Chains A and B, each alone.
Chain A
Amino acid sequence: MTWVNAVVHGILLGGFYALLAAGLSLMFGVMRIINLAHGSLALVGAYMAYLLVEHAGITTYLALVPVLPGALVVGYALQRTLLDRSLRGGELVPLLTTFGLLIVIANLLQYFFSPDVHGLSAGGIGPANWRISSSLTIPWFDVLVLGIAIGVLTTLHLLLRRTQLGRELRATAADPDTAELVGVDARAVYARATAIGVAVAALAGVFYAMRASFDPFAGPTQLIYAFEAVVIGGMGSLWGTLVGGVVLGVAQTVSAQIDVQYFQLGGHLVFLAVLVVRAVGQAFELGLRLPGGAGAEA
């Protein structure tokens, strides 16, 4: 039963990872940007909520009401001022830019908020559990986070499939030059994608701050989990991101069941295994395609 407990908790944890990774996946899918500052932008969301909770005396959930639109604006401005320029510089420049952004954000947060550890209250739901047996309990808060992750992914899916903005996003992702030729303002589409990506990051950051304590340098650790979830699930695929998050979460909790110290190691090993399997698979595909000769692609 303890193993069942570990798997259930892993799935729930996977929901959090998927929420964390959704914005990263969206930005990669549309612009091929690997946003290294994603975890740090999530933290910015957490600190924005922290400010409101401390100074306006509202609950963390209510703080989301101004934080999310604020994050949309931050994302939009970030794309228009910084990322647009770096995209023009080639594939590597956005990677360097977002890496720089990660460091700047961490230091700005430290400057304004001190290196102290903070936390946000999850309200009454925080400590509440659904106790099924002596060794299997389900925390309500984790169920809520999984539900929100599925909700966010469903919303993003519907946005991409059913709306004009979604068609523009997918067309621009496939071929930005041709998208321009059918009247799509590719830059404006990019800015909207980043705005949504950062808002989802901020949402994940606020929930992260409710489940664990955070400090100005917590961004990169969260980035690694998000990145692993995205890669395991297949780069840029939204539902793959949910699968990736769950696989990562289960790998971590099951490893921790063997020995608590293995929590992170288990996740990283699964990530590594996925990369190796993909590499071998690709090598096989190439090997099979070669005898087909030239022109097979045309």
Chain B
Amino acid sequence: MTLLSVERADARHGLLQAVREVSFAVDEGETVALVGANGAGKTTLLRAVAGAHRLHSGRVRYDGEDITDLPAHRRVRRGIALVPEGRRLFPELTVEENLRVADVRREGEWNLERVLDAFPLLERLRTKRAASLSGGEQQATAIGRALMTNPRLLLLDEVSLGLAPIVVDDVYASLASLQRAGTTMLLVEQDLGRALRVATRVLCMLEGRVVLEGAAGELSREQVTDAYFGLARSTS
């Protein structure tokens, strides 16, 4: 069943067109990776789905409903949560407060105890201010914060950026368990190898357009790399 569909989406930053006529759909339970070079429009597209960036034209449909004009906070209440690039925690709030502020009382299995169980390192950091955390701890808090909203569709923007490789492994291990629990995910990832391993399907963006789309198992690394850099190699 289609959970999310984006239809002919155009998004701009002032005069700059960041996303051009992008259309794609995500089925319930899927993990879709958005890959592409810097400035390809991945973050803008993700933020448009979350409601943080207004589309210039095009529609966003979610769970059979047109949500294009719905503000971000109301999309959260319907089950769309974004883990933003750079974590964007509330620095003066403690870890626990960062988590609890996102408690929108949506039905679901996630609550403060469950999140602290899922990220054991957060338990002893509960009363620490978010500003004092390491990068990995911040990322765990940011993912935990998104989970507090009980998302049906989890959007993740560059969760591995700026983290030590071993910490990235931890982060992806927790994402894998979310995947197994049936959470639908749309993620932006710079690391191609990781994107191909974690995702069921891959969308490659170049200069605001989706130039390649396919099941992660069927795409070769070369195909994706070529699309990534815009190399025209028109063979299968």
Contacts and interface: CB of A to CB of B under 8 A. Distances in A.
Interface of A: 164, 167-168, 170-171, 174-175, 177-186
Contact of B76 (A168, A177, A183): A183
Interface residues of B, number: 28
A183 B149 contact: yes
Interface stretch (B24-32, B88-96, B164-172): B88-96
Contacts of B98: 171
B71 A167 contact: no
Contacts of B93: 167, 170-171, 174
Q: Is the interface of A mostly helix, strand, loop or mixed?
A: helix
A167 B145 contact: no
Interface stretch (B101-109, B184-192, B217-225): B101-109
A180 B88 contact: no
B72 interface: yes
B102 A183 contact: yes
Interface of B: 50-52, 71-74, 76-77, 81-82, 84, 88, 90-93, 97-98, 100-104, 145-146, 148-149
Nearest to A180: B72
B145 A182 contact: yes
Given A167-B93, A174-B91, A175-B88, A180 B71 contact: yes
Contact of A167 (B50, B73, B100): B100
B101 A179 contact: yes
B135 to A, nearest CB: 12
Contacts of A170: 90, 92-93, 97
Nearest to B77: A183
Given A170-B90, A178-B90, A180-B51, A185 B100 contact: no
Given A167-B97, A182-B81, A183-B149, 10 more contacts: A174-B90, A179-B101, A180-B73, A181-B82, A181-B84, A182-B76, A182-B146, A182-B149, A183-B102, A183-B104
A179 B77 CA distance: 13
A179 B84 CA distance: 11
A178 B85 CA distance: 11
A78 to B, nearest CB: 21
B52 A180 contact: yes
Contacts of B72: 177, 180-181
Nearest to B91: A174
A182 B52 contact: no
B94 to A, nearest CB: 10
Contact of B101 (A177, A184, A185, A186): A184
